[in-house]
Structure 1
Amino acid sequence: MGMDLRQAVEADRVHRHVYTDPGIFEQEMDRIFHRVWTYVGHESQVRKPGDYWTVQVGRQPMIMIRHRDGTIHVLHNRCPHRGAMLFGNRSGNAGPTITCSYHAWQFDTDGACRMVPLSKGYDGTRLAPGGADCHLRDMKRAARVESYRGFVFANLAADGPSLREWLGDARIAFDDMCDRAPAGEVEIVPNCFRVIQNSNWKIFLENQLDALHPAVTHESTGKAAFDVEEEMKKRGGHAPLSYHYMSAFYTTPIAKWDQFQTLNYPHGHCILTGYMGLRPRDPDTLAYEEAMKQAYGEKRMEEILGVNIHHVLLYPGLSVQSPLQQLRAVRPLGVDKTLTEIWHFRLKGAPEAMYRRALGYYNLVNSPATLINADDLWNFWKIHQGLASDGGEWVSFHRNAGQDLEEGGVVTSCIGTSEAPMRNQFRAWVDYMGAR
């Protein structure tokens, strides 16, 4: 491309090559995804010693594994001998040791080399015990691993802010989700939807807090669900709450989305306020509230259930809907190919009906089978194709530019449909890319 990155991002617009240039994508892998905190999984995914999950961090295949002392380690999925991946499965239990299937080198579950077959062959070499390269017998570890309320993150860079510092006020994504559990924590449902999006990773993230698109993109889907609800009413029935997850896209006009608000934090994190109204007076909700009251007391329960959050985006790789225990992890695969992993969680100590409610949203709105997701994926592909064309050089983020309130590094949008989240994400992008 040849464009200076400092010229590619302006206060209210971004050059299209930022999305489509393979060279810029490679720089993003190095300067962003290999240097920021990346979500690798939840502690409940690896309950027992030897339990592991494989995950991609930037370009690196990694392993999240529980050691026998209960600690969780994140290791490069590579044997230090001849480079073979140590795990080809998504998950499993390694047992007391990790054994390479190529030459049977064995490692402890913290990555330390435990046994080298025919070790005499290394006598007198740099790889012998005490040799200059003996430390290279061990599996390479992620430079840093930290957990917040059970959510495990890894960082391939040895320096930089701690996880808590990097999360900042956006850690409410996990506080809100866990506080809604009577037991104060969640556990993962050990399967996920994995979706390949034929578009640049930034397009997905921009869409998450775009409050202008739902009433447009999802109108036809919402109208179909609304018609079903109305037909049920005519027959004297009552549609389940889960039906409203889809019909709300039709019954919530653009003007209503403008009443919401976004909070835009350092590092590109953003919050869309607007609680989803999940407190009907049905028996399931009342039973849940009673469990919460027993756990926290009525005052604290009201504080927790009154948190006004619809969506939290942790830039550049995580999208969290805490009121419904949903999480989407973003794994860029190429300049025009992105993997999203869609997970959901159980509120420990909550009635089973509350899990079924979250499962309904998971299947009806976030799954790859639903029309809501299909609406978005179709738009993402069309956006990427349009940006790859010569139809224009710039992507517009002018909506309400200069009208939002900034105080202490936090930008509060003047209205819900302001493009402040997109501008905030690119402000962080410029910093990460060293382009300021």
Structure 2
Amino acid sequence: MLHVPKKGGDGGWDPRDLVEPDRAHRACYADQEVFDLEIERIFHRSWIYAGHESQIPNPGDFATFQIGRQPMIMTRAADGSIHVLYNRCPHRGAMLTNEHMGNCGQTLTCSYHSWQFKLDGKVHAIPTPDGYKGTRLSTDNPDCSMKAAPRVQGYRGFWFASLAAEGPDLVTWLGGAKAAFDDMCDRAPEGEVEVVPTCFRVIQKSNWKIFLENQLDALHPSITHGAAGKAASEVEDEIKAETGENAPLQYHYLSAFTTPIYKWDGLQTRGFKYGHCILEGYMGLRPTDPDTLEYEAVMERAYGKARTEEILTTNIHHVLVYPCLSVQAPLQQLRAVRPLGPDRTLTEIWHFRLKGAPEPIYRRSLHYFNLVNSPSTMINADDLYNFWRCQQGLESEGGDWVSFHRNAGQDPEKDGEITSVTGLSEMPMRHMFTAWTDYMGEG
């Protein structure tokens, strides 16, 4: 147990005492007791991302994921409905599957004693039923069915589950963060996206909040990733000198990290209820190459010129859906956050196709997926290294507090929405910790 501020005559403490308006105690990142409370009061009570409906397009399809410490399974039933169940057999407790995704046919079958369950979790068959005569177990007993998540809702194909029976509905809870999914789906000529089944899974040796805080930290990119950006910029210059043509767009994904700090300062972040945040601006994706022009023509045929222009000029680069998602809608990227311990976090990195869009537009998202977000790229490696260094420092006794002082008290708030006074303001970190104290205090 780390040294933390004390509260009460019994020597106990309130997690809200660990957060002040411009700083947070290191126990928020490094203490096991704090982490256990986060799992109980945040991840087991708020809406947590389950997956996209295109991961389970057919009856019998399933995909597994975690909500806090709970192994869950998302299924597609014969009638097309989607269900989220605890991945546990009610007989002896075995997980029904340890595969990430697959198709189980008409029933989920336990590999231990062959209990069978319908795709909505209801028990279908119990082997040797005569052995249960006179006991409490039978196919008529709901306790013999798989336990379902109390609440399951989707928005534009993205599905969430909550282990709490009560709370705001998904759309209310998302609030302004709906823009993450609206922006991505609206960029598809057919108004929908579909997941690319290949997913990167990375275990980061750091606290889950360090990852989320980094995503909208506009000061770090040109510092942390400057070397990779400079190398890409130099290659762009060489291509231009040798061919007279601009380098392919994917080079810009890396060279953009040479953007000077004063330009990052000109961006803006916005904070919404429940801890969600948006970073506006940053990367233009409308060159006048033939691929882009073809895509815009397809969009105009689908939406008309005015609506197409409105969609393609949406000023969003990055959305945090607190506490579980990082979404880069214009690049069809999504990273799900699955905490494993105070110093270990699993991130799942997914990308999507825009239905009806030309193949080169998908290739752009694939390039970003591999060059920026994959575990093998220098950009991700830079971040992972800094995350680890932060975690090591926070577990030391070199100091008790983490600073979020930059522009503290300067960010205006109106109608429950906070706007950063500059792009470099640490408003997103302060805003997420404001939500953290609400969750941790009231669950």
Q: Is the 8 A contact 1:6 1:435 kept in 2?
A: no
| Structure 2 partner of 1:370 | 377
Cα displacement (A) at 1:231: 1.5
2:289 is aligned with 1:282: yes
2:60 is aligned with 1:16: no
Counterpart CA distance in 1 for 2:119 and 2:297 is: 42
User: Which residue of the other structure, out of 231, 254, 266, is the alignment partner of 1:246?
Assistant: 254
Q: Is the 8 A contact 2:327 2:335 kept in 1?
A: yes
User: Which residue of the other structure, out of 141, 158, 170, is the alignment partner of 2:165?
Assistant: 158
Counterpart CA distance in 1 for 2:286 and 2:267 is: 19
| Structure 2 partner of 1:414 | 421
| Structure 1 partner of 2:269 | 262
2:324 is aligned with 1:317: yes
Cα displacement (A) at 1:415: 0.3
Instruction: State the secondary structure of the residue aligned to 2:441.
Output: coil
- The CA deviation string for residues 83-138 of structure 1, in whole angstroms up to 9 with x for no partner, is 111112111101011111111111101100011111111111122466xxx21110
TM-score normalized by structure 1? 0.98
- The CA deviation string for residues 212-237 of structure 1, in whole angstroms up to 9 with x for no partner, is 10011011110111111111122124
- 1:119-130 equivalences under 5 Å are 119-128=129-138
| Structure 2 partner of 1:228 | 235
- The CA deviation string for residues 162-213 of structure 1, in whole angstroms up to 9 with x for no partner, is 0001000110100000000000000000111111100000000000000010
Counterpart CA distance in 1 for 2:161 and 2:277 is: 21
Counterpart CA distance in 1 for 2:442 and 2:138 is: 45
2:62 is aligned with 1:52: yes
Counterpart CA distance in 2 for 1:329 and 1:88 is: 19
User: Which residue of the other structure, out of 94, 101, 106, is the alignment partner of 2:104?
Assistant: 94
- 1:58-97 equivalences under 5 Å are 58-97=68-107
Counterpart CA distance in 2 for 1:129 and 1:61 is: 24
Counterpart CA distance in 1 for 2:384 and 2:242 is: 35
Cα displacement (A) at 1:408: 1.1
* Paired residue type of 1:23: E
User: Which residue of the other structure, out of 300, 307, 313, is the alignment partner of 2:314?
Assistant: 307
Q: Is the 8 A contact 2:210 2:387 kept in 1?
A: yes
Give every structure 1 segment of 4 or more consecutive aligned residues whose post-TM-superposition deviation is greater than 6 Å.
none
Cα displacement (A) at 1:435: 6.7
* Paired residue type of 1:141: A
- 1:336-415 equivalences under 5 Å are 336-415=343-422
| Structure 2 partner of 1:199 | 206
User: Which residue of the other structure, out of 118, 122, 127, is the alignment partner of 1:117?
Assistant: 127
Question: Aligned in 2, Cα 1:125/1:259: closer, same or farther, shift over 3 Å?
Answer: same
Gapped regions of structure 2 (runs ≥ 5): 6-12
* Paired residue type of 1:330: V
Instruction: State the secondary structure of the residue aligned to 2:335.
Output: strand
2:44 is aligned with 1:31: no
Counterpart CA distance in 1 for 2:17 and 2:36 is: 18
Q: Is the 8 A contact 1:275 1:307 kept in 2?
A: no
Instruction: State the secondary structure of the residue aligned to 1:363.
Output: helix
Q: Is the 8 A contact 2:192 2:355 kept in 1?
A: yes
Question: Aligned in 2, Cα 1:44/1:325: closer, same or farther, shift over 3 Å?
Answer: same
Q: Is the 8 A contact 2:125 2:139 kept in 1?
A: no
* Paired residue type of 2:247: A
- The CA deviation string for residues 236-261 of structure 1, in whole angstroms up to 9 with x for no partner, is 243100001001101x1010001100
Cα displacement (A) at 1:275: 4.8
Instruction: State the secondary structure of the residue aligned to 1:433.
Output: helix
* Paired residue type of 1:44: S
Counterpart CA distance in 2 for 1:226 and 1:129 is: 65
- 1:123-202 equivalences under 5 Å are 123-128=133-138, 134-202=141-209
Q: Is the 8 A contact 2:232 2:251 kept in 1?
A: yes
Q: Is the 8 A contact 2:138 2:144 kept in 1?
A: no
Q: Is the 8 A contact 1:32 1:432 kept in 2?
A: yes
Number of residue pairs aligned between Structure 1 and Structure 2 = 432
Counterpart CA distance in 2 for 1:247 and 1:275 is: 12
Counterpart CA distance in 2 for 1:435 and 1:113 is: 36
* Paired residue type of 1:96: Q
Gapped regions of structure 1 (runs ≥ 5): none
Range with bigger deviation, 268-277 or 419-428: 268-277
| Structure 1 partner of 2:10 | none
Counterpart CA distance in 2 for 1:128 and 1:231 is: 73
Counterpart CA distance in 2 for 1:435 and 1:39 is: 21
| Structure 2 partner of 1:330 | 337
Q: Is the 8 A contact 1:242 1:361 kept in 2?
A: yes
Question: Aligned in 2, Cα 1:435/1:393: closer, same or farther, shift over 3 Å?
Answer: farther
User: Which residue of the other structure, out of 30, 40, 43, is the alignment partner of 2:50?
Assistant: 40
Cα displacement (A) at 1:429: 0.3
| Structure 1 partner of 2:9 | none
Q: Is the 8 A contact 2:29 2:209 kept in 1?
A: yes
Instruction: State the secondary structure of the residue aligned to 1:235.
Output: helix
Instruction: State the secondary structure of the residue aligned to 1:345.
Output: strand
Report the aligned-residue RMSD. 1.1
